[in-house]
Structure 1
């Protein structure tokens, strides 16, 4: 394959773009494009062996402002694909720092967490991964807690537990029936005793969110009237960080906000203007004490 030949000449043999072009009868521009494609396709992976943070000063400012244990910041770029890849890569670094061997990790519903899990390199940790809520219905998308626990267990030679219940039951009575199931009670008890929590942060300003986007117009209106600005693990909260109670909350099957706050290490992965208020409240109220986000979000949080 031409791309592979060009990549080997450049990265293994140390030839310049022009030397490769001369050797293969190509233009220098073509060589440059082939090298870029080799990086984007995953044929070439570059590992930088350095521990220095990309945004050390900003991370320290976040720790000081919100009393966090740790923060990781990805660069904000205009290209959505590159921005997503940057968040996933930095998030994978965060997971490598917080997931310790032979510990229990509780996982929440999140597309942001799913992207990070997908970027997480295999390593033998032997940890236990437990959903903190039931799973959303519909087409599997890799972002349900059950799917996330399975994938992380596979990548770490660990174990995964399944919570046999929906994220949001049809009625409060159906949710109560789910809690009565011994299997559900056992998994939620394990999640409550986890040493680490890994979640995304949803926003009531973003209709694309997995949970908020699946709700009816009536349910969304009720949340807005109640002052909800975001959710973690399916539990909505207001601008003070207090839980938003009501009919919807009584149908959620999973740990409540008090249980989540009791987990020692609480990592959230979230970014973007639509989530700014929810992220700020989650940090200020102590719902989470570690954060993966991007530089634009940090600028707004510190502004």
Structure 2
């Protein structure tokens, strides 16, 4: 069989070849698939994959933010905007529905946020694995007067790939000032929370976050694999009680139900985060999340945050739009 003819026997037109080339580049440079795996996924030979990758680089398409010609992605983006009142949806392609969407979403997010930033902006940031992964995809440059505000406290157990370091890493990328909440994300009581804010110097950070130009957030699931469990933000006994309150996800460690309502769980009164009503008041609200295990959390977050922009992957977009039809 000719190298220019896919194994399915469908002859490629110039437009089809362009889409195939861009899919191959995305799989290789973003999803970090091997050339052999890409060849199998696309139904072409490995030599064709090598040639397509070289062409993509020569044509200037490899910039992490790849030109996209997939009509399905545009349809999914339009459906998300229509169903959730978004100003913009960005759907990253996936090689398969079972692939980990973290890197594709992070790449799309890094490109989007880099284009969004301006001098003298005040941007509030959450933290998590997806957001942290976007750091390597930012277009670093110096921005005058940019202020970065962490919207939630951190973790007490340090790990090599600490997701709570996202705000400081983001600030370094743009030579910006960074304002942190130097406390655990979750404290032992509402009284401790009040004391830390009112008497331990954190009120200035909370006050500074009152008039944000933009926020960038993700969401977490509540299973044992969730960030709040893996990084010991919440104890296992407490985590297991969340379902009894109807909780499906967390945003800035605040837990909510599938309708986007903050649940009446005692932990919510102990979260060291900027109030969600302040976050929702930002004129630009970017939500980045994906994965089958986060489907309920994402649907609830869309109602809770009412984002202006959603960055997700194709598999998640299909499921979210189908679930809320």
What TM-score, normalized to structure 1? Answer: 0.78
Q: Secondary structure at the match of 1:109?
A: coil
Q: Which residue of 2 aligns with 1:136?
A: 155
CA distance in 2, matches of 1:192, 1:274: 33
Pick from 235, 243, 247 the counterpart of residue 216 of structure 1. Answer: 235
1:296 pairs with 2:299: no
Q: Which residue of 1 aligns with 2:34?
A: none
1:57-101 residue CA offsets vs partner (Å, 9 max, x unmatched): 221111111001211111122498874332221111221233232
CA distance in 1, matches of 2:258, 2:181: 30
Pick from 58, 75, 81 the counterpart of residue 63 of structure 1. Answer: 81
Pick from 162, 168, 171 the counterpart of residue 150 of structure 1. Answer: 168
Aligned residue runs from structure 1 range 1-303, under 5 A? 46-47=62-63, 54=70, 55-78=73-96, 83-126=101-144, 127-140=146-159, 141-144=161-164, 147-181=165-199, 183-204=201-222, 206-213=223-230, 214=232, 215-303=234-322
Give, in angstroms, the shift of residue 235 of structure 1: 0.8
Give the length in aligned residue pairs: 268
CA distance in 2, matches of 1:131, 1:274: 26
Give, in angstroms, the shift of residue 45 of structure 1: 9.1
1:145-203 residue CA offsets vs partner (Å, 9 max, x unmatched): xx222211211122111222111113333222211246311112222321111111111
What TM-score, normalized to structure 2? Answer: 0.73
CA distance in 1, matches of 2:216, 2:261: 20
CA distance in 2, matches of 1:49, 1:219: 40
Q: 1:107 to 1:90 in 2, by over 3 A?
A: same
CA distance in 2, matches of 1:263, 1:231: 19
Q: Secondary structure at the match of 1:183?
A: coil
1:232-281 residue CA offsets vs partner (Å, 9 max, x unmatched): 11111112211123321122111222222222211111101111111112
Q: 1:71 to 1:97 in 2, by over 3 A?
A: farther
Q: Secondary structure at the match of 2:136?
A: helix
CA distance in 2, matches of 1:70, 1:187: 30
Query: Which structure 2 segments of 5+ residues have no match?
Result: 1-45
CA distance in 2, matches of 1:69, 1:155: 26
CA distance in 2, matches of 1:162, 1:286: 22
The worse-fitting range, judged by mean Cα deviation, of 262-271 and 279-288 is 279-288
Q: Secondary structure at the match of 2:286?
A: strand
Q: Which residue of 1 aligns with 2:13?
A: none
The worse-fitting range, judged by mean Cα deviation, of 90-99 and 281-290 is 281-290
Query: Which structure 1 segments of 5+ residues have no match?
Result: 1-28
Q: Secondary structure at the match of 1:124?
A: coil
